[in-house]
Chains A and B, each alone.
Chain A
C-alpha cells in the first residue's frame, strides 16, 4: 500500500511568531522551522501502515527552500521518498490554492492513501485535507484517532466530543489524524544517515502545469488586511485565601462567565 503524507513546515510553536510588513504573510525567517506537530503523527501513522501492509511512504510538502530540512527529518524517521513543490510564485497561497497545488502534485505519484495532520499550528484553518480530497474527488475521513485498512476499505475512528464515530471509505482516500492516534518515533542515527540517500523530487509550478497567476498572493481567496501585536499579558489576579478562598475563586470565575 502506497501512502503519501502531506507535511507542512511551520515556525517553531514555542517561538515568537511574526507576520512580515509589506504583504502581511508569515515571516518564516523570524524563527526556527519545524515539522507541523500533528504532521509528525501523520508520518508515524503512514510508517505504521507501511510496516503492517508493505508499500512506500512518500512525503509531500509545499514550501520554501528550507522545507527540505523537514523532508529530511521525515525521511530519517523512515519515509521512503519526498516530493517538494518549490516555487517563489507560491508565496502567500491561500488554503484553496494550496490544496489545488497539492492535488496536482499528488497526480505525479501513485497512492492508495493520503494522510495529513488535522491542522497546522501556524494558520490553524484545518481545511486543507478536506480541500485536497475534494480536488482529487476521493473520500475524506477526518479527525482520525485510529486508522485501519482492509483491502480497499479504510476505516477510521473519528474523535467527537463524547466518543468517536466509525467512518468507512474506499481507497484511495484522504485521512486526517489527531494527536491521540499514536506516539511519533524519534529518528535514529541510522535513519539520519539513510535519509541522505533517499530521493527527493523537486517540482516547480510548470512541472505541475500551473501558471504563476493561478497561485500565490495574486490568486489568494483570502488576505490579511491588517494585524496588531498581541497586547502584553496583564497581571493576573491573586486570590488570597482568608477562609473564603473557594468562594472568592468561584466569584472570579463567575465574573468571567467561566462557570
Chain B
C-alpha cells in the first residue's frame, strides 16, 4: 500500500499542534492528536525515503555488489574509534561519508540513508556512540524490536532502594495505555505472569529452538525466566492497518539495520503516521530541521517553531497553539537549550536547570557464547525466521538488595543457524577439516548479552557547544557523560551470571566477554527532561507537559525518570499516548 499523498503546508495558519520529530514519540503524538480531531503539523528533520526500495529485506548477499557492504567512499566508525578518538569523530577523516557503528554491521548499505552522516552532524565532549536516524520514522526504521513494559519495580525504584526519584506515575496509570499500544501496533510474546515484567496483550509468539528450550528449563530451576523475544511485530496482522503485513518469519530480520520491508515490525510511518494522514488532520513536512521553539514574549508560552529547510537552507516559522517535542532524548534537549529568550534565559522549560541532565541509558557488553554439543553435526534447522531469539528478564535485587550494586539487567540472546556462519572467522585452521567443522557446528551455538540500567545522575549531562555548528549552522551538543561505579559493578556481575547460567544448563562455555561497550552503544538514551512533581528538580509533569510552559510537551525518552533495564520504545509510546489524550482533553475544555 503506497504512502498517502501529502497535504500542502500552510505556514500562515496556526495549527492546533506542531510536532517535532516523526519517530516512536512524534508518530504516536500525531496518531493520538489527529484521532481527537486536532489539526496537526508534523515536522521531520530528515527526508522521506522510498523505504521498500531502501530495505530489500529478502535480497541475498550475492545479489548485492558488495554483499550488503557500504560503498568504498563511506566509513562506519569502529568500536575502537569511539574509545581512542574524541568527538567529533568524523573530523579529519578523508571519507566522503562517515556513519555511526551500526553501519558497520552486515547489511549496512540498506540503512545508510536512514542514519545521519556524521560529517554533517558533529557533536563534541566525552566519548559517546550517538546513533541518529534522520528520516521519516527515525530509528523505528531500524530498531531491535524488543517491546517490553516497565513495572512498579521501575517506576517506584527510588522508594525501593533509596536512590534517585520515583516516577510521578504508577503502573496502574500507564497500563491501559500499554494495552492501547499493544492492540494498535501488535506485539508478539508469551505470557509469563511476572510482576517485574508485565505481560502485553500478545499476538502469536515466536518459538524457541532446542538449545533455547534447554536453557529455559534449566533457568526455571534457578527461579529465572527465559521467554521468547517480545517483539514489536504483528504476527497475526492488524485489521485496522492497511500499510502493514503480518510477519512471515523471513530470515532477514536477523539483519536489523535492514529493517522490515513488509512492515510486520513496527515502524512509525506505516504504524502511526500514514494512518494519521488518512484522517485528513495531519500535515507532514520533511526536510524541516527545527532549531528553536518560539515564545510569545508577553505570556512566555510557546507560539510555534523556527526551522530550516535542510535541502534549500531557507528559514521558516510554523505557528501552533501547542508545541510537542519528540525529536529524541538528546535532540529535544538540544532544542530546549537552544531556545533561549528573555523569559526563558536558560532555554525553554529549563527554570529547574535540569534540561540535559540526569542523562541515562543502558550499559552493554558482557556476554557469553556457548556450545550445545549434542547439536553438533545435526541436520540443518531454520532458526532465524523470527525477529530475534529470547529474553531473560531481570533477576537481581527483586526482593530487596541482593548484590553490590542497585537495579538490574536483562539478557537478549539467540541460538542456531544464521544466514552467515559467524563462527567461521573464529574457528581456527583451514582446509577440508576446517570447512567441515564450520558446517557441523553452525547450528550448535547459543549466546546472550546483557542490557543494564545506568543510574540517572545530575553530573551526567549534555549542553550546547556554541563553538561547533552542524551543516545548517546550528550549535551542536557537547557530552559530559561517563558510566559510574554502580554500572561497573553491575557489568562484572552480568559476566559472572551469564557464565553461571550456561554452566548450570550444561552448555559448554566458548567465551565470556567481560568488557563494556562504549557509552551510547545501546541506543537507549533517556532522561534529559525528566518528569516529576517538583518543578525545581524536574522539567515535565506526569503528562509530559513543561512545568514552565503549559503549551509545551516533550513526549520522547527524555521524559523518563530512570532507565530501568527494559528497552524503552513501548514505554515511550504508551506515555505519549497518555499525555496526548490528556492534552486533547484540556484543549476540548479550553484550558490550553
- Chain A bound to chain B: no
Q: Which residues in A have some Cβ–Cβ distance to B below 8 Å?
A: none
